[in-house]
Structure 1
């Protein structure tokens, strides 16, 4: 594997990453010696426009959607990504991963989310059906390896429709290392290629992006996530399960006392068993919820006061620590005390803890995501995106940003042009999607 690269490790040591792990799709010199390759990767994602745009994409509670004074600043996709990165960096470091590599993956994991979150993702999946569908994780890879303007190959071939045209620079996106792209890939397979469920909508790469995918997956076990990606994935689950419940409490959508009432509990367990833990029965899920409710730090009686907010913050910290320490301990028990990286280990999360996390997701699902007012909002969002897509397809390149206007002009087929339109819509924030929709449909 081309020798060994000694990446900086926690405590000042070095680690077992190979020279292959730090290769970039397009070779380039380091203009500032002294930094590790993974520190450069982290800086590139942190300074990207795609990461900044996540500040305008709703996580759970939309800004201004609550009358509660203490809910003035709910989480966005950006704050979720930063929190996921903090969780992942510490958990990864404790297990021997390069912390900058894991943090890079966590910062990058939601870059491909379109406006209006998972609701927008479903709409774009239907719109993009003729060009291979849409999936937020595959879109994240597309941003990292193609769309985010950072590095270009000096020249590519002329247009296929006009072979005699002047060679055009070819974007390689942020040009991250092989290990960073792999660590950011939650679903390392193509559409329909889920290893156990071919009907699963989750996938990590579009046909257009297979060359770079096959490059960074070279030598990797088929459909297996690298260890750093597993740490990122669990950190994501931990962050959003805990913080979505916290945001729901802040916004006044969730009364903790509801979790003591049998009808409400049955609803939570039904959602958990359907969406988050299909292999669990209601008895196991009840035990998982009760374990959390029995903790002395659980925020019973939350009323929004300063003392209650402090107790809630403590509960949030306790839950994150509980979930991460359980995974760290179980993984260490299975693999020992050495540094765990790449394909040398699997992250082990005890079943009891996975079910506790699943129950928290179901709580947020029931009391925040399924609110009637949110369904009305989601219906409106679907109309906005469908009408926006129709207008852009009919009028493009009008309405496209300069970057996407150029890509549209270079596209050599209807499917390629549709993919550019989808890329443009996915890049919008919630507000900019509504603004562009209003401008393009004003005269219709």
Structure 2
């Protein structure tokens, strides 16, 4: 139950763009959460990259590596824990967490970079904006509306959980904001801020796990880093001689705990000092209320720098980045110039308007919705050299 005066309250929700009757059993944000979980875009996250691309030829293929779906579930779990401890609305925090990566294209941030370049002449691309497009337009299952008809608070959280959005807007975000003002220049709710920090906690934790499993670095190298080194030392003190996999897990779960406890302590101190009396006061503050302490933030920067060099830019991962970028650089212009190569409904949508920008945006929606394996199979179908007879 929500107790804090600065928490978002269901009875104060600004509602939905298409009015609906209140549910007998669920709050507005429980309904939002459930619609996201049942969406096609959420299911596709199962086969979308977190770091390692899933396909038969990938040296790192394995059931233990995180996908975009397992990452999302971990973020939602962290968000509920932090939100509940702070007296916030756990359903709204979970909703934003579950939706925050819906707009990711195939091949993770590599795919996003490639599509942003390809879409530069046509209004740009951003995965947060694409998530909004999915939940407001591209999911087409309901009789009365396109999208999921989420509440204003859920849409606001998707749009600006990472902070206020200023400057030139990606067309997908501008389109939604023109339809319903999301007040992009202010902070998001505390619940959405929790989802953003939970994202940082989750990926910093699980990328360490996955990098170790991929043998891109060792426990001994991690022990040289802040936070992680003391965690390994404490495990060795409490459990001398522990086998390697248990030692790794025990140390990294302590790192996980340090991050979560730090966020909660900082938020509690700031909330006690500032005494906000409404969710709107959180939005109107000069900066986020939910964040890491400055010392831990600096330590996390050092960890991220290590991961960037040793994992995200490891030679094998970079080779894979080049390979999948080339795939998208092949697929996008082909579909743009030959829209009949797309499925019938996408072909029809592309040809509904002769404007090239319209067609490019339809192609983007199609390509961005692909899973890794579907993008790879489409590229093989369309570009594989014919066998010599």
- Check whether TM > 0.5: yes
The match for 1:327 is: 263
- Whose helix fraction is larger, Structure 1's or Structure 2's? 2
Which residue of the other structure, out of 82, 92, 95, is the alignment partner of 2:73? 82
- For the pair 1:210 / 2:174, whether they are aligned, the reply is yes
The match for 2:290 is: 347
Deviations 1:319-378 (A, max 9, x none): 222112111111111212989874433224211111222222222222221111222211
- For the pair 1:424 / 2:366, whether they are aligned, the reply is yes
Gap change, CA 1:347 and 1:209, over 3 Å in 2: closer
- For the pair 1:29 / 2:24, whether they are aligned, the reply is no
Mapped to 2, the partners of 1:417 and 1:298 lie a distance apart of 57
TM-score (norm: length of structure 1) = 0.75
Deviations 1:14-55 (A, max 9, x none): 96526552500111224x512111100000111111111111
Moved more, 99-108 or 392-401: 392-401
The match for 1:163 is: none
The match for 2:101 is: 110
* 8 Å Cα contact 1:399/1:440 also seen in 2: no
Count the aligned residue pairs.
Answer: 372
Q: Which has the higher contact order (CA 8 A, sep 6+)?
A: 2
* 8 Å Cα contact 2:105/2:112 also seen in 1: yes
Offset of 1:296 from its aligned partner?
A: 4.8
Which residue of the other structure, out of 191, 205, 218, is the alignment partner of 1:255? 218
Mapped to 2, the partners of 1:101 and 1:353 lie a distance apart of 26
Question: 1:384-395 to 2 correspondence within 5 Å?
Answer: 384-395=327-338
Mapped to 1, the partners of 2:46 and 2:257 lie a distance apart of 26
Gaps of 5+ in 1: 1-7, 154-170, 194-204, 262-288
Mapped to 2, the partners of 1:29 and 1:334 lie a distance apart of 37
Deviations 1:71-98 (A, max 9, x none): 5421001100000010011111111221
Moved more, 315-324 or 427-436: 315-324
Mapped to 1, the partners of 2:252 and 2:263 lie a distance apart of 17
* 3-state secondary structure, aligned to 2:231: coil
Moved more, 208-217 or 429-438: 208-217
The match for 2:285 is: none
Gap change, CA 1:191 and 1:382, over 3 Å in 2: farther
Moved more, 83-92 or 307-316: 307-316
Deviations 1:78-126 (A, max 9, x none): 1000000100111111112211111111111111111111111111111
- For the pair 1:229 / 2:192, whether they are aligned, the reply is yes
* 3-state secondary structure, aligned to 2:121: helix
Deviations 1:191-219 (A, max 9, x none): 745xxxxxxxxxxx53354353256545x
- For the pair 1:60 / 2:51, whether they are aligned, the reply is yes
The match for 2:286 is: none
Gap change, CA 1:414 and 1:187, over 3 Å in 2: farther
* 3-state secondary structure, aligned to 1:9: coil
